């Protein structure tokens, strides 16, 4: 058996690393979301055209898949800079999406997401506001 040329070996390692990001690897830490406080959050449509909902969030990365809930999805961080993160994700059998989160403060977020869920396109924008610790009634 002949050894692989150096370029081919490098290409295999790089491809394996890329697949690791998409398939089953732990979700990458997103610096822009690290400052966001866990707790009870009120999520409402940005333009106020719909009901608000209350969520208990232990990690702000939960907002990335806001339309796909707890679906098992792979993620790719497109942008991660102070105050803004954009993540593309794919959920086998459940759809996919791309979400941009702007961190206005540690307790106020602007979430924009678009993609496919239940075989239909979606495009949403939410204001997320922390209302207190988990278990507290939304204000």
Report yes or no: 43 and 55 within 8 Å, Cβ to Cβ: yes
pLDDT at 50: 84
Query: β-pairing, 53-57 with 74-81?
Result: unpaired
Q: Between residues 48 and 99, which one has the greater pLDDT?
A: 99
pLDDT (tens digit per residue) in 8-37: 433 433 433 333 333 444 556 899 999 899
Q: Which residues contact 25 (CB under 8 A, 6 or more apart)?
A: 74
Q: Is the pLDDT of residue 45 over 70?
A: yes
Q: Is the pLDDT of residue 3 over 70?
A: no
């Amino acid at each position: 058996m002949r050894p692989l040329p150096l370029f081919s070996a490098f290409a295999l390692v790089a491809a394996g690393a890329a697949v690791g990001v998409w398939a089953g690897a732990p979700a990458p830490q997103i610096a822009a979301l690290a400052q966001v406080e866990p707790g009870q959050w009120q999520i409402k449509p940005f333009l106020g055209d719909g009901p608000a909902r209350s969520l208990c969030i232990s990690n702000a990365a939960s907002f990335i898949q806001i339309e796909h809930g707890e679906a098992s999805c792979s993620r790719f961080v497109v942008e991660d800079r102070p105050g803004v993160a954009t993540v593309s994700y794919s959920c086998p059998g459940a759809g996919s999406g791309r979400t941009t989160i702007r961190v206005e403060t540690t307790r106020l977020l602007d979430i924009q997401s678009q993609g496919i869920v239940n075989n239909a396109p979606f495009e949403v924008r939410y204001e997320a506001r922390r209302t207190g610790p988990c278990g507290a009634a939304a204000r």
